[in-house]
Structure 1
Amino acid sequence: MSAVRPIAFNGKFRAGKHNGVSRVADRLIREVDSLLSQMPPDERPPVRLIVPSGCPPEEPYRAITIEEDGQGPSQKWEQRRLPRLARGSLLVNLANLAPVTHRPKVLMLHDAQFCRPDCSYPLRQRLGYRLLAPLMARTSRVVLTVSDYSRQDLTRFGVIGSGRVEILHNGADHILEVPADERALERLGLIHGEYLLMFGSVKAYKNNQVVFEAMALAGEASRAGMDWPPRQLVIVGPDRAALEAAGLHPPENTVFAGPCNDSVLRALYEGAQALLFPSRTEGFGLPPVEAMLCHCPVIAAPCGAVPEVCGAAALMADPDRPDIWLAQIAALDDPETRALAVRAGLARAGRYTWANAGRTLLRLLLEVAR
């Protein structure tokens, strides 16, 4: 391994709020650490995680060393100080941002949402990404992204040029690493198999409104005497006030589960009739894969990376047709249709593991570091 350049991970993500991007970065690094620990010490390259001061403590690594700098996290730290700290190393940046001046480096861009007018990002953040992202991408040896759809999107918006781009799918099997919270449904007043699950969002591209309109149609059908079993909608994330402030109108009997840890989320997946995922664009679309692993059928809009990731395992519904959503929900009342959807979902989702992602990433890093 003497011919392999040292590897340094950009640890600034550990200083921010815990979100999906930071969670992916942390898990990928831990998978790489596990693989490195299985290699003879004299055959593995030196690998470190460079973090600004004040980051919350985390579980230690087995093969990766942590270097905590004396300065706190900021854009200035990442753009100016980190390149000096990582001098001589291949710098790996897994959370959408990287110092422009450091070479060589690897950059992971999860999606191109910041290029879209309906992304709901603050204007300053959108402009910052639009300025920095192409510079970061063009000064990277390799750009990683989470789907072929994201690769095409980043190319279409001019974020990445003709350089090397590799696809690194997310894992989803973390949802099976914790037991389901056995009391979750009881606390929320839910009955197994009699509710629909959705992740709520005030962002326009998440398209929650089509589901709300579908549930309104269901209410009209029930009042008209049509045979429509009672179903509640359960929303993970924002409450009613937040959604209504964004001009959205959830059904009156909606249950708001609030933010959920993986244990509660697994229980909600396992008890739901289906996960509804109406987003108009997704770089990967993790909830459908998590749901499939938990034997929960998925109804989704055929948009973004969802068709690529879910394949034929998800039932698809037009993002602008609430009547089609209603028809797909009703289709799952047939036991054979539901069983087929569960089997197809398990087979499809089983390919998205963090172990596979870690092996792919380490193989790529060792190649580039040479």
Structure 2
Amino acid sequence: MNVAFDTNALYNSRAGVARYVQGLLGGLRERCGTGVNILPFAWEVENLGAPGLERSCKTLWRELVWARWIAPRRLLRSGAGLYHATGTAYFVPPSGITFLATVHDLAAIRCPERFRGWQRRQRDARVRRLLRARQFVCISRFTADELMREFGVSAERIEVVYNGADDPSALSRGGGGASGLQVPDEFLLFVGSLEPGKNLALLRRVYELAAGRGVALPPLLIAGARWPGVAHEGAPPDGWRYLGRIADETLVMLYRRAAALVFPSRYEGFGLPVAEAMLAGCPVICSPVASLPEVGGKAALFVDQTPEAYLAGIRLVLDDPVRRAEMIAAGREQAAGFSWSRCADGYLAVYRNLHQ
């Protein structure tokens, strides 16, 4: 059985979808000999890091030329019986090829302010293509419920397969990627693309509240690519450090050394930093919104999305070493259920069911 596996996210994204594609592809490749042949399928030209005009031209080519005219013909020649759209539904496969789509979230509908103008303009067309899939895989029960409520998709067309989280020991074997980064003895960590939905503004208010009360908080290290708009929020509070995009082994080092991951996101389809942090032994403070209760389980410290609640949660983790140790142990146990091998097994079962 040949499966054309969409890898476009590896060339045009630094967000969680790219980590998902990379992780799932690795898990599927570990399952060689299962009777399923994975064929990476993409326009293998990178958008990332290109100047604005060049990036725009590449985006237009990928969506308006490659997806409409080149990809369907290439898919027919590939011998694939199934096309797996792992993120954006760039096109509908030709007749005779089964269409499977992964749905990460409905953020384009729920939180349009998180997206660039081109993405907002293409939203309706992308959704129409997506809904023509024969079967859907959702990365959380929350996303599955949203898909059913918003579009009336029947439960029979949906499978829930949770994402994995990268093994910290495997990532840290990469070597000295963290050697040039000096970090404080004690710090808090934020991980995520710096766009409005990740709610970094709430942490700004937390630090302002703490300063007003004379409460000293550790520095906040911020790992993630900056999006337009976030850079214009004003001067950061004292102790904040923007690290930008960092290597995986550096991220693992930060997870392992941070006092806690503070993750005040308003909306997540999964919440990969939560699972990654717990797996690396980092306590997690977040809010009980969207998919985060599924991922955090009983291990994360859930607080309301107010400055007072986050400040109290941070102080609890910092001031109570017994509670912090309990959160670390519970986090590792919770995150052990999120592996790319288990994720791959779930997708292989879906592939086989569609092939019957």
- Name the TM-score class by shorter chain: 0.7 to 0.9
Cα drift, residue 284 of structure 1: 0.3
Over the matched positions of the two proteins, sequence identity in percent amounts to 27
What amino acid does structure 1 have at the position aligned with 2:307?
P
2:209 corresponds to: 217
Cα drift, residue 357 of structure 1: 0.6
CA separation of 1:127/1:345 partners in 2, compared to 1, >3 Å: closer, same or farther?
Answer: same
CA contact (8 A) 1:284 1:306 kept: yes
Root mean square deviation, CA, Å = 2.8
1:237 aligns with 2:224: yes
**Any idea what the Cα deviations from partners look like across 1:22-41, whole Å, max 9, x if unmatched?**
3322332232222123x4xx
Cα drift, residue 158 of structure 1: 2.3
Q: Secondary structure at the match of 2:151?
A: coil
1:369 aligns with 2:355: yes
Mapped to 2, the partners of 1:200 and 1:46 lie a distance apart of 33
CA contact (8 A) 1:7 1:369 kept: no
CA separation of 1:10/1:292 partners in 2, compared to 1, >3 Å: closer, same or farther?
Answer: closer
2:313 corresponds to: 328
CA separation of 1:274/1:283 partners in 2, compared to 1, >3 Å: closer, same or farther?
Answer: same
Mapped to 1, the partners of 2:4 and 2:193 lie a distance apart of 35
Cα drift, residue 19 of structure 1: 3.8
2:39 corresponds to: 48
Mapped to 2, the partners of 1:256 and 1:234 lie a distance apart of 6
Q: Which runs of 5+ in 1 are unaligned?
A: 57-71, 223-227
Alignment of 1:351-370 (within 5 A): 351-370=337-356
Mapped to 1, the partners of 2:262 and 2:238 lie a distance apart of 18
2:56 corresponds to: none
What amino acid does structure 2 have at the position aligned with 1:121?
F
CA contact (8 A) 2:193 2:226 kept: no
Alignment of 1:5-154 (within 5 A): 6-37=2-33, 39=34, 44-52=35-43, 54=45, 73-87=62-76, 89-102=81-94, 103-137=97-131, 139-154=132-147
CA separation of 1:264/1:12 partners in 2, compared to 1, >3 Å: closer, same or farther?
Answer: closer
Cα drift, residue 119 of structure 1: 3.5
2:150 corresponds to: 157
CA contact (8 A) 1:118 1:203 kept: no
Q: Which has the higher helix share?
A: 2
CA separation of 1:11/1:201 partners in 2, compared to 1, >3 Å: closer, same or farther?
Answer: closer
Mapped to 2, the partners of 1:155 and 1:203 lie a distance apart of 27
Mapped to 2, the partners of 1:6 and 1:184 lie a distance apart of 39
1:61 corresponds to: none
Q: Secondary structure at the match of 2:268?
A: coil
Mapped to 1, the partners of 2:163 and 2:325 lie a distance apart of 26
**Any idea what the Cα deviations from partners look like across 1:328-367, whole Å, max 9, x if unmatched?**
1111111111111111111101100001011111121022
Alignment of 1:159-308 (within 5 A): 160=153, 164-179=157-172, 184=178, 187-191=181-185, 194-199=186-191, 201-222=193-214, 228-237=215-224, 243-245=230-232, 247=233, 250-308=236-294
Cα drift, residue 200 of structure 1: 5.8
**Which runs of structure 1 show a deviation greater than 4 angstroms over 4 or more consecutive aligned residues?**
53-56, 159-163, 180-186, 238-242
User: Whose Rg is larger?
Assistant: 1
What amino acid does structure 2 have at the position aligned with 1:142?
Q
CA separation of 1:351/1:317 partners in 2, compared to 1, >3 Å: closer, same or farther?
Answer: same
2:54 corresponds to: none
Mapped to 1, the partners of 2:236 and 2:272 lie a distance apart of 23
CA contact (8 A) 1:118 1:205 kept: no
What amino acid does structure 2 have at the position aligned with 1:328?
G
Cα drift, residue 78 of structure 1: 2.3
**Any idea what the Cα deviations from partners look like across 1:211-262, whole Å, max 9, x if unmatched?**
111111222222xxxxx455111111257996341x3653122122221111
How many equivalent residue pairs?
A: 336
CA contact (8 A) 2:136 2:157 kept: yes
Q: Secondary structure at the match of 2:120?
A: helix
What amino acid does structure 1 have at the position aligned with 2:21?
A
